[in-house]
A and B are shown apart, each in its own frame.
Chain A
Amino acid sequence: MRFRSLALSASLVSLPVAAGAQAAASARAQADPRVGLAAGWPDAQEAIHNLELVAHRPRPEGFFDPAKPGDFPYAVADLAFGGNYLFQGGYHGIQIWDIASPASPTLRLGFVCPGGQGDLSVYQNLLFMSVQETSSRVDCGTQGVADSISAERFRGIRIFDLTDLGHPKQVAAVQTCRGSHTHTLVTDPKDAANVYVYVSGTSPVRPREELAGCSGLSPEEDPNTALFRIEVIKVPVAAPQEAKIVSAPRVFADSAGAIAGLWKGGDHGPGTQTTTESKQCHDVTVYPELGLAAGACSGNGLLLDIRDPVNPRRIAEVSDPNFAFWHSATFNNDGTKLLFTDEWGGGTQPRCRATDRPEWGADAIFTLAQGKLRMAGYYKLPAAQSETENCVAHNGSLIPVPGRDIMVQGWYQGGVSVFDFTDPARPVEIAFFDRGPFSATELMLGGFWSAYWYNGQIYGSEIGRGLDVFRLLPSEYLSKNEIAAAKLVHLERFNPQDQPRFVWPASFVVARAYLDQLLRADGLRRSWAAPVVRELDRAEKLTGEPRRTALAALAARLERDARGAGDPARVQSLAAVVRDLAAGKR
């Protein structure tokens, strides 16, 4: 999140809209239960569709100011997950929730340690925390740092040892020139002994008198400037106290070696957005199994080769005339699509009003093939929000439904939205949750910082209201089998910027999920599908050799029929699951 409006506000934004389109938009608006919800804190009116809110936990004692629900210093922010624990970062510190029973999260620890939004990542017994602000202290104190040059100041990455969960122990604190607005934990598939942290710093560079080597000069004045780079910290897992910066990749350099090689002024002409300067990344999402990273870097979206995690190499970059601030990125599971978010207005402004253009402050979905990105479509929260609701695209994750690209995303006070972007040109909303504004008369900072799927549930981090847990419900857009298949994917940990590849076990429910998809899209004729469903049911009740024989026969039939099917790839996927079931794979 950025503190305030980035560039444009309503006067430039409300472009003329044809009367017919306006009427259509207002008809849609009237039909959507999210429009016009009553304000309140903590008792705003709610609208929910195809989700069930199974638990809500307000911010615990000490992590809010009852007199000022939208108070910035107590905003809670992003999430990370490890085992049965949810780690919630924020401006005032860390909350650790036990989610062994997801419908009743219990607070295990509230840990005061201010320093900015406090993004977290978790790896085994280690917890990583971003620290950005000049008031942050090495010792986590709340009193700030008065001197402009001080050894007490900490800006960078803290590493805590969580071996005793009730007593996090700071084992390393790696100082950086610009602090850490966000960071990305990077695992290396070839090296289990080390993890890496990509540090995205967005704030002014601190004086070199405070940290040697720091320079905030332009590249022309100083080729060693701390601008126009990310930092890479190497962390030996067994000796985290030895964590240190090992490289500072110039991800914006051009082929001639100019450090500031990408950004061309960010101006795309009348009627478009201008972007901020590409001299830092806001957030980097890595997908180690693909050897790729996506950098959401202020004025550009980058694609990086990270097979050598210490030396990420840019292989593609994009800009977009409708983007103001490249904020975050999510790959689809097979790495054929890449979704970037645009945090137009910095997250503190109302940017989902009926007058705001649907391709501004939205997700931009690109297709990805042979290292090339191609723009395909936009997704924006389809329900207009009010003037007192800060709202724009923000953080989310994939939901592991096999055969489809489905994501859940937080939109600040716009709520939580679940959508399908399998067809990147035509994303479709599946489910949502929204509360009315904190206040009907005043814009108070609030809403969903992020919403993520983790091992069967959706967890939402609400800046001023705390933690929400949702269950996804079957609907015309998503079947019971598809949800059950998503729940088969179990992760040991989930750091949203470190994307794992989802793999589904061979299971009848996965086969039925594919069948449901084929039927929904009419990729199979019903007359053809009915015996397949029956045969699958029959085989499931068998055991031993008869089961194997039945499944092998069904797989052979599916493989044969795939060739003439409307959606051959999906029938192939179905056939592959049945083949694996026949082979007894789990």
Chain B
Amino acid sequence: MIKVPRRLLAAALAFGLAIPPSSTSSRHPASQAPASTASPRYTAADVGFMQGMIPHHAQAVEMAALVPARTAREDLRLLAQRIDVSQRDEIATMQRWLRSRHQMVPNPMAAHEHPDSAGRPMLMPGMLTPQEMAELAKAAGTDFERLFLTRMIKHHEGALIMVAQLFASRGAVQEPEIFGFASDVDADQRAEIARMRTMLNAYSVPKREPQ
């Protein structure tokens, strides 16, 4: 599962091993000892995060696709359109990341269950169960609008949990790419949650969905 990316030359470049073009003198700053020569690598947690986030995002795309036929609200249709575009962009990014590291790339159009280590289907945090998806698809009008926002908020909060779990995993988030990606997912999902909460409050008599 874990592959160490080959960072050419990096191994030769421990801390403080500076590279003056025309000098052979030692370049170790006096205050610091030279550190290990290993490079940061990605771990099973990083790979699992990317593999798990693809079906997670794919479900958001699927939820967004329900919107145009079920509401005339312009703000909700626009939100759904933006979710569709941004999640597709991110899915492509995650697929590129996995592919370039020769890791299994989940097909976002396939089942949304992410197999756990024993191969059993497992929903990522925040994801709707097939039943919940079916309920959402059946709803219409104001019921649909509130249910969509409530469940998309929960869905996005699941992504935040995934990011938090990733950062708490030993050895994870050491590569610049995955650090940047996970940071951006965190920031953007939070912003979208804030936006959706505002919308939900603005819709008359918001009815809380039982959790």
Residues of A participating in the B interface, judged by any CB pair closer than 8 Å: 2-9, 11-12, 60-63, 65-67, 72-73, 91-92, 106-114, 116, 132-135, 137, 139-148, 166-171, 202-204, 207, 263-267, 269-270, 274, 276-277, 279, 299, 346
Contact = CB atoms under 8 A, between A and B. Distances in A.
B70 interface: no
A132 B174 CA distance: 11
B36 interface: yes
Nearest to A275: B191
A128 to B, nearest CB: 16
A11 B64 CA distance: 15
A117 to B, nearest CB: 9
A167 B29 CA distance: 5
B8 A66 contact: yes
A3 B181 contact: yes
Residue among A170, A269, A277, A279 facing the most chain B CB atoms (10 A cut-off): A277
Given A166-B23, A168-B29, A276 B187 contact: yes
Contact of B86 (A5, A67, A145): A5
B20 A107 contact: yes
A247 to B, nearest CB: 24
Contact of A133 (B25, B168, B179): B179
B27 A2 contact: no
7 contacts: A62-B19, A111-B18, A114-B40, A135-B40, A142-B13, A146-B174, A166-B20
Contacts of A274: 82, 195
Residue among A60, A132, A140, A269 facing the most chain B CB atoms (10 A cut-off): A140
Contact of B20 (A2, A4, A108, A204): A108
A171 B194 CA distance: 41
A142 to B, nearest CB: 5
Contact of B194 (A91, A144, A207, A265): A265
Contacts of B29: 167-170
Contact of B82 (A7, A112, A171, A276): A7
B195 A267 contact: yes
B40 A12 contact: no
B85 interface: yes
Contacts of A141: 14-15, 35-36
B120 interface: no
B12 interface: yes
Contacts of B13: 62, 92, 112, 142
B173 A139 contact: no
Contact of B183 (A3, A5, A142, A270): A3
Contact of B32 (A108, A139, A166): A139
A167 B30 contact: yes
A188 B173 CA distance: 38
In order of increasing CB-CB distance, the 7 nearest A-B pairs are A3-B180, A141-B35, A144-B40, A277-B191, A110-B19, A144-B174, A135-B174
Residue among A7, A11, A269 facing the most chain B CB atoms (10 A cut-off): A7
Nearest to B177: A72
A203 B166 CA distance: 14
B30 A169 contact: yes
A8 B187 contact: no
Contacts of B180: 2-4, 72
B113 interface: no
Contact of A2 (B16, B78, B174, B184): B184
B68 interface: no
A135 B13 CA distance: 16
A112 B198 contact: no
B48 to A, nearest CB: 15
B21 A106 contact: yes
A39 to B, nearest CB: 19
Contact of A116 (B176, B177, B198): B176
B23 A169 contact: no
B154 to A, nearest CB: 16
A147 B195 CA distance: 34
Given A66-B8, A166-B27, A265-B198, A107 B183 contact: no
A135 B14 contact: no
Contacts of B44: none
B173 A134 contact: yes
Contact of B74 (A109, A112, A203, A270): A270
A270 B188 CA distance: 19
Contacts of A110: 18-20
Contacts of B9: 61-62, 65
Nearest to B10: A142
Nearest to B33: A139
Given A7-B85, A132-B179, A144-B40, 12 more contacts: A6-B184, A7-B188, A60-B19, A111-B27, A112-B16, A134-B174, A142-B14, A144-B171, A167-B29, A202-B183, A204-B182, A204-B183
B209 interface: no
B31 A277 contact: no
Contacts of B74: 270
Given A7-B85, A62-B19, A267-B75, A204 B170 contact: no
A147 B183 contact: no
B39 interface: yes
Contacts of B31: 169-171
Residue among A91, A166, A169 facing the most chain B CB atoms (10 A cut-off): A166
A495 to B, nearest CB: 22
Given A4-B93, A66-B8, A144-B40, A276 B27 contact: no
A265 to B, nearest CB: 5
B179 A134 contact: yes
B82 A148 contact: no
Contacts of A111: 16, 18, 27
A67 B8 contact: yes
B97 to A, nearest CB: 10
Residue among B78, B167, B187 facing the most chain A CB atoms (10 A cut-off): B187
Nearest to B12: A62
A72 to B, nearest CB: 5
Residue among B93, B172, B188, B191 facing the most chain A CB atoms (10 A cut-off): B191
B188 A6 contact: yes
Given A61-B9, A65-B7, A169-B31, A135 B175 contact: yes
Contacts of B176: 72-73, 91, 114, 116, 133, 135
Contacts of B30: 167, 169
Given A73-B175, A134-B179, A266-B195, A148 B168 contact: yes
Residue among B8, B88, B179 facing the most chain A CB atoms (10 A cut-off): B179
A140 B15 contact: yes
Contacts of A167: 27-30
A92 B183 CA distance: 19
Interface in B26-77: 27-33, 35-41, 74-75
B174 A270 contact: no
A106 B19 CA distance: 12
Contacts of A107: 19-21
